[in-house]
Amino acid sequence: MEMRKGLRRLTAVLSLITMAILMTGCSDKVIVLNPKGAIGKQQLDLMIISTALCLVVIVPVLILTFYIVWKYRHQPDRKAKYDPNWEHSTKLETIWWSIPIVIIVILAAITVKYTYLLEPSKPLEHEAKPLVIQVTSLDWKWLFQYPEQGIATVNYIQFPANVPIRFELTSDAPMNSFWIPQLGGQIYTMSGMAMKLNLIADEPGSYLGMGANFSGREFGKMQFTAEATSQEQFDAWVQGIKGSSPALTKEGYEQLAIPGVSEVESFSSIPAGLFQQIVTKYGGHNHGSGSGEGATEHHHGSDSGEADATDKAPAMDMNMDMGDGASMNHEGHMNHE
Amino acid sequence: MLDKIKDFASEFFVTGDPLIYGADVSIGLTIIAVVSALTFFKKWNWLWKEWLTTVDHKKIGIMYVIASLLMLFRGGVDALLMRTQLAIPDSEFLSPEHYNQIFTTHGVIMILFMAMPLMFGLFNLVIPLQIGARDVAYPFLNSLSFWLFFFGAMLFNMSFVIGGSPDAGWLAYPPLSELSHSPGVGQDFYIWGIQISGIGSLMTGINFIVTILKMRAPGMKLMKMPMFTWSVLSSCLTIILAFPILTVTLALLFIDRYLGAHFFTLDGGGNPMMYINLIWMWGHPEVYIVVLPAFGIFSEIVATFSKKRLFGYKSMVFALMSISAFSFFTWAHHFFTMGSGASVNAFFALTTMIIAIPTGVKVFNWLFTMFRGQITFQTPMLWTIGFIPCFVVGGMTGVLLSVAPADFQFHNSYFLIAHFHQVLIGGVAFGYFAGLYYWWPKVFGFKLNEKIGKWAFWTWNIGFYVCFMPQYILGLMGMTRRVSSYGWDKGWWELNLVSTIGGFLMGIGFLFQVWQILHSIKFMERDTTGDPWGGRTLEWSIPSPAPVYNFATLPHADEKDPWWEEKLRLAAGGTPKPQPSLEPIHMPKNSGIPFVMSSFFFVAGFGFVFDWLWLAIPGLIGVAACMLVHSFRYKTDYYIPVDEIKRTEAAARRVV
C-alpha cells in the first residue's frame, strides 16, 4: 500500500516536471536551446545527439527499475519467482557491459570530431573578413576594443550579423569567462595571455552576454549586451562613436580598471597597443596560439590573415576539411565513424 | 588603551550584520548551556573518559556522525539563505559580499566537513564489525584523525564570527584567493581549516586500508569481502593518492599569501592555471572518494532487502576499482573552457565518458539483484530505490557535460549546479542516509521510526526534484552560478522561486529526520536480536550495540554472506559451528593525546590565520611535545579478562 501511494505521488511529480520543461522549452527564454549563430547551433546539435544517445539507455533503465521494484515486491502469495541464490549470468553481464561501451564509443567518436571542429581558437570559414574585438575583463566590467575601427566600449558590443567575429580575450583582474549563450560557448579570460574565440551571428538581434566565472564581489553585475546589426548600422554606430564619444587614454584606462561596476560607455579612440600591454604586463605568457603578436599586428593595421597563420597550422594537421568545416551535417559525422 | 581594544575587537569580530549578531548570541548561549549542563550533572569526567579520549572505533564513529549532522545543519542553512536570496529578482536580503561568503562556506562545509566525516563515521561504525575485527589497525591514529577533523572544522566555522568568512569559492581559485584580492583572514581560515582536517583524512585512509588488508576474519579472502568493505578500500586508496595533492596545493597557496611567493600569482612568473589543475587533480577524485562508499552501502542494502545474493560480485569489484583508477585521469573536464586546445579536451572528454561504463554496469547489477528477489520497503531500501532513478539521470547529465564542445555552453551555468547536486545529493547524501538508517540499530540497539522516516524520505525526494530540475532549465536560460541577484528582465524568477520552494522542502525533510531521531530515542523498542533486517554479513551476528570488544571469539567467514549462510544452515536443522573457548581479549587503551594534540594544531592554525607567531609557535611546540610524550607511552594496551567477557555476553542475552 505504502509503495503504491508513493509511486503515484512520484508519477504525479514527474509528470508535472515534464510539463514544466516542455512549457518553458517552447519559450524563447531558454536561450541555449535557441541559438542564433553557427557555433551555437552546432553545439545545440551536439547536445541533442548526446541526449538522444543517453536516453537510449536511460529510458529502458528507468522503466526496468519501476518494473522490477513493482514485480518483485514482497507480498503474500505472489506469483513472481524468488531465486535467492541467483547471482551471476555471464550472458547478462556481457550484455550490460557492452551496451554502455557501444553507446560511449559512438558518443566518444562524435565528441572527438566536434572537439576539433568547434575548437574556439579555430577561425570560421566564411567569405567575409573577420571583425576583431579585443575583450578585457576588469573588476567588474567588460572593456571591448575594436582595433580596426579604433574605438572601445564598456559592457556593450555591436557587430554586423553574418560576419565572423574574432574575439581576443584577456583579463586585468581575476579570471572570468566570456559567454554569449545564443552565439556559442564560453571561454575563460585570463591575465597574461590572449585567448581566442570565434563566433558569428546568423541574424540581427540583441543577445545576452554573461561573465560566467566568479571573479569577486560584483561579479554578478558583469553582464553585457551583444547586438548584431546590419553592416550599415554597424558602420553608422562606429561613426557615431567616433564623432561623439571621448577618447580612451592610458589614464582613462587606469581609472576604468579600478574595481567597481560600470554603466555602458564608449570611446572614440584607444591608446596604441593597449591590449598588448595588458596581456604582457603580467609577464606575458604566449598561450597556445601566440596571439600576442597577432594583437599588435592588428593594431598596426596589417592583414589579420597573417596573424592567423599559426592558428591554422594545428587545425590542418588534423586533416579537417576546411571547406565545409562550419556547415558539416550529422550525416557527415556518421559516415566518418 | 580602550580605543585600541575597541579597534582590535571591531577587526577581530565580524560586525555589522544582524544575522551574525544573532549567531553570536546563539553560539554564546549554546556554549553556556553545554558547560552548565555538564557541570550540573557532573558529566565532565564522563565526557573525558568515555568520549574525548576514546579509541573505540564505534564511539569515534558516533562522534563523526554527530559532528557531520551538525555541519549538515550549518551547510543546509547556508543553502536556504542562498535560495531565499534568489527566490525573487533584485533581492536585497543578502549583500553580494555576504552571498559570496555563504556559497563558499556551503561548498566547503558540505563536501569536507559534512560528506567526508559522515563517510568516515560509517567506515568506523561498520568496517571492523563487517570484517570480523576488534578495532581498526591503528586505534590511536583513528582518534587523532577524528580530532584533527573536528578542530579543523571548528577553525573553519569560526571564521563566521571571528575575522570573516572566506569568499573566493569552495576551491578558492587564485588570483582571487591570493593576498592581492583577498587580503582578509577568511582565506587563511579556509587554508588552515582544510589543512588540519586534511591530515586527519589522509590518516583515516591509511588506517582503513591496513585494517581491511590485515585484519579480516579468518577465511575472508579478498574476493569474499562484503561489497561495502570493497568500496571503502577503493575509496581509501583514492584518498591516499589524492589528499597529498590537496595538502601541497594549499601549502603553496599559503606560502604565496604568507611569504609572498609567486606559485599562483599573476606576476613573478606564477601561474594560476597550475593551481586550477592541481586543485582538480584532488577535487575530481574527491567526488569519487565520497560516492564509492555510497555505492557499497547500496550494494549491501539492495541484497539484504531483496533477500538475495548481490548480483555480479566480480563485476561490482572490478567496477569500483576501475572507477577509482579512472577518477585520476579526468580532472581537466572541470575547465574545458580554459583553452587547452582540442587534443587535451578530447582526451579528458573520453576519460570522463569511460567512467560512465562501470557506473552504468553497477546500476544494472543492483537492478538484477532485485530481480527475482523479495523486496521489502523499509527506510534504508526506500533511499536506495530513490537513489537509482536520481543517480541515473544525474549520471546522464554528467555525460552531457563531458561532451567537451557542448560543455562550453553548460559550463559555469545552473545546468552544472543541478548536475553535481543531483549526483552528490542523489548519490552521496541518499547513500549515507540509507547507510545511517541501515546500521543505526547496530550502533544504538534500536531502529528509527519507520513512519516518520517515510515522511522524511518523501519530502527530501520531492523537494530534491522541485529544487534542482528547474535549475537545469535555468542553466539553459543563461543563468550563471554564483550570481547574487538578477533582474526581472531575465525571466528567471519563476523557476528560481520553484527551486527555492524545493530547497525548503528538503529542509523540512531534514527536520523530519531530527524529529525521527528524537522520537525514536524516546519511544522505539530495543532490538534484542542484533539482526533486525535479516542481515547477511558478520556485523549482524553480534548483539546490538556491539560490546566493546565486538566479537567474543573471532568469527570465521568462509562464504561471501557468512551470517546469511549460517542462518540458513541453522534453519535447515544444522548445528552451530563449534566455538573456540574464550580467551582474554587484547584491547587498546584510551588516550587523551589525540585531543590535546589536535587542540594544539588548532592553536597553531589560529595563530597562522592572524599572523600571530607568538601563538602559532607555541601551538607547533605543543604538537611536537604531544608526539614526544606519545612515543614514551609504553602501556598502550590491556586485556579484558574472560569473566568480564562472559558477563557482557550474558547481559547481551547470548550465553556463550
Q: Evaluate if residue B478 carries a pLDDT over 90.
A: yes
Q: What is the pLDDT of residues B67-107, one digit of tens each?
A: 999 999 999 999 999 999 999 999 999 999 999 999 999 99
| Cα-trace Rg, chain A | 26
Of A104, A208, A213, the CB nearest to B356: A104
Closest C-alpha to B478, from B398, B409, B396: B409
* Mean of pLDDT values over A26-33: 82
Q: Evaluate if residue B243 carries a pLDDT over 60.
A: yes
Q: Give the pLDDT band of residue A10 (cuts 50, 70, 90).
A: low
Closest C-alpha to B545, from B555, B558, B532, B556: B532
Task: Please identify among residues 251-270 of chain A the ones whose CB lies closer than 8 Å to any CB of chain B.
Answer: none
Helices (H), chain A: 2-26, 38-71, 90-117, 231-244, 250-257, 274-280, 291-299, 304-317, 330-336
Give the three-state DSSP class for A76: coil
* Mean of pLDDT values over B480-484: 95
CA distance B643 to B653: 15
Identify the pLDDT of residue A16: 62
Q: Which residue, chain included where needed, has cell 553480534?
A: B542
Q: Which amino acid is at B643?
A: D
| Cβ distance of B396 and A42 shorter than 8 Å | no
State whether residue B403 sits within 8 Å of chain A by CB: yes
| Cβ distance of A74 and B375 shorter than 8 Å | yes
Q: Which residue, chain included where needed, has cell 540499530?
A: B441
State whether residue B491 sits within 8 Å of chain A by CB: yes
**8 A C-beta contact, residue A326 and residue A306:** no
* Mean of pLDDT values over B618-646: 95
DSSP string, A240-255: HHHHHSPPPPHHHHHH
* Mean of pLDDT values over B295-317: 96
Tell which of A39, A59, A186, A224 to mutate to test the B interface (max B CBs under 10 Å).
A186
Identify the pLDDT of residue B653: 65
Of A57, A192, A213, the CB nearest to B266: A192
Tell me, rounded to whole angstroms, the distance of Cα B459 from its chain centroid. 22
Identify the pLDDT of residue B577: 79
Closest C-alpha to B333, from B264, B393, B410, B262: B410
| Cβ distance of B371 and A68 shorter than 8 Å | yes
DSSP string, B510-575: HHHHHHHHHHHHHHPPBP-SS-TT---SGGGGS-SSPPTTS-SS-----SSSHHHHHHHHHHTTPP
CA distances from A212 to B107, B140, B230, B265, B482 (A): 18, 47, 40, 21, 9
Identify the pLDDT of residue A5: 58
Q: Which stretch of A222-226, A317-321, B111-115, B175-179 has the lowest confidence by average pLDDT?
A: A317-321
**8 A C-beta contact, residue B346 and residue A104:** no
What number of other Cβ atoms are within 10 A of residue B459's Cβ?
Answer: 20
Query: Backbone phi, then psi, for B283, in 5-degree steps?
Result: -65, -35
- A6 vs B contacts (CB less than 8 Å): 382, 458
Tell which of A81, A87, A191 to mutate to test the B interface (max B CBs under 10 Å).
A87
CA distances from B125 to A121, B158, B224, B239 (A): 53, 28, 20, 19
Specify the DSSP element, H or E, that contains A166: strand A165-171
Cis peptide before B175 (omega within 30 of 0): yes
Q: Which stretch of A197-206, A297-306, B119-128, B572-581 has the lowest confidence by average pLDDT?
A: A297-306
| Cβ distance of B399 and A50 shorter than 8 Å | yes
| Cβ distance of A111 and B407 shorter than 8 Å | no
Q: Which are the contacts of A115, defined by CB distance < 8 A and separation ≥ 6?
A: B342, B345, B346, B349, B404, B405
In chain B, which residue's Cα lies nearest the Cα of A214?
B482
* Mean of pLDDT values over B619-623: 97
Q: What residue segments make up the domains of chain B, in order of their start? A: 1-42, 43-591+636-651
Nearest CA to CA, how far is A239 from chain B (Å)?
A: 30
Average pLDDT of every residue of chain A = 83
- A285 vs B contacts (CB less than 8 Å): 271
Give the three-state DSSP class for B413: strand
Cell of B258: 604568507
Closest C-alpha to B72, from B15, B21, B121: B121
Q: Give the pLDDT band of residue A26 (cuts 50, 70, 90).
A: low
Of B266, B408, B470, the CB nearest to A185: B408
Cell of A157: 558590443
Q: Which are the contacts of A300, defined by CB distance < 8 A and separation ≥ 6?
A: none
Identify the pLDDT of residue A325: 36
Q: Which are the contacts of B487, defined by CB distance < 8 A and separation ≥ 6?
A: B89, B90
Of B173, B377, B484, the CB nearest to A220: B484
**8 A C-beta contact, residue A208 and residue A57:** no
Q: Which are the contacts of A310, defined by CB distance < 8 A and separation ≥ 6?
A: A289, A290
What number of other Cβ atoms are within 10 A of residue A105's Cβ?
Answer: 15
CA distance A47 to A36: 16
Identify the pLDDT of residue A15: 60
Nearest CA to CA, how far is B181 from chain A (Å)?
A: 8
Q: How many CA atoms lie within 13 A of A50 on its CB side?
A: 30
Task: Please identify among residues 45-104 of chain B the ones whose CB lies closer than 8 Å to any CB of chain A.
Answer: 96-97, 100
DSSP state of B575: P
Of A30, A85, A314, the CB nearest to B476: A30
**8 A C-beta contact, residue A3 and residue A12:** no
Q: What class does CATH assign to B43-591+636-651?
A: mainly alpha
Q: What is the pLDDT of residues A73-89, one digit of tens each?
A: 998 888 888 999 999 99
CA distance B316 to A200: 48
> Interface pTM (ipTM) of the complex?
0.92
The vertex-A27 CA angle with A23 and A29, nearest 5°, equals: 120
Q: What residue segments make up the domains of chain A, in order of their start? A: 33-73+91-118, 131-314
Tell me, rounded to whole angstroms, the distance of Cα A326 from its chain centroid. 15
Query: Backbone phi, then psi, for B210, in 5-degree steps?
Result: -65, -40
Q: Give the pLDDT band of residue A100 (cuts 50, 70, 90).
A: very high
CA distance B186 to B631: 36
Identify the pLDDT of residue B368: 96
Q: What is the pLDDT of residues B22-54, one digit of tens each?
A: 878 888 888 899 899 989 999 999 999 999 999
DSSP string, A176-230: EEEEETTTEEEEEE-TTS-EEEEE--SS-EEEEEEE-S--STTGGG-EEEEEEE-
Identify the pLDDT of residue B652: 81
The vertex-A272 CA angle with A267 and A274, nearest 5°, equals: 75
Q: Give the pLDDT band of residue B138 (cuts 50, 70, 90).
A: very high
Identify the pLDDT of residue B6: 82
State whether residue B354 sits within 8 Å of chain A by CB: yes
Q: Give the pLDDT band of residue B8 (cuts 50, 70, 90).
A: confident
Q: Give the pLDDT band of residue A4 (cuts 50, 70, 90).
A: low
DSSP state of B327: G
Q: Which stretch of A294-303, B85-94, B333-342, B646-655 has the lowest confidence by average pLDDT?
A: A294-303
Q: Which amino acid is at A82?
A: Y
| Cβ distance of B346 and A116 shorter than 8 Å | yes
Between B580 and A265, name the one with better pLDDT: A265
Tell me the residue length of chain B.
656
Q: What is the pLDDT of residues B598-611, one digit of tens each?
A: 999 999 999 999 99
Closest C-alpha to A113, from A21, A45, A196, A30: A45
| Cβ distance of B315 and A42 shorter than 8 Å | no
Q: Domain A131-314: which topology?
A: Immunoglobulin-like (2.60.40)
Between B7 and A313, name the one with better pLDDT: B7
Q: What is the pLDDT of residues B272-288, one digit of tens each?
A: 999 999 999 999 999 99
Give the three-state DSSP class for A239: helix
**8 A C-beta contact, residue B338 and residue A115:** no
Q: Which residue, chain included where needed, has cell 569489484?
A: B317
Q: What is the pLDDT of residues B529-560, one digit of tens each?
A: 899 999 999 999 999 999 999 999 999 998 99
Identify the pLDDT of residue A290: 39
Cis peptide before A142 (omega within 30 of 0): no
Q: Give the pLDDT band of residue A328 (cuts 50, 70, 90).
A: very low
* Mean of pLDDT values over A106-133: 95
Q: What is the pLDDT of residues A284-308, one digit of tens each?
A: 554 444 343 433 333 333 333 334 4
Query: Backbone phi, then psi, for A207, in 5-degree steps?
Result: -115, 150
- B498 vs A contacts (CB less than 8 Å): 20
Of B266, B373, B477, the CB nearest to A30: B477
- B488 vs A contacts (CB less than 8 Å): none
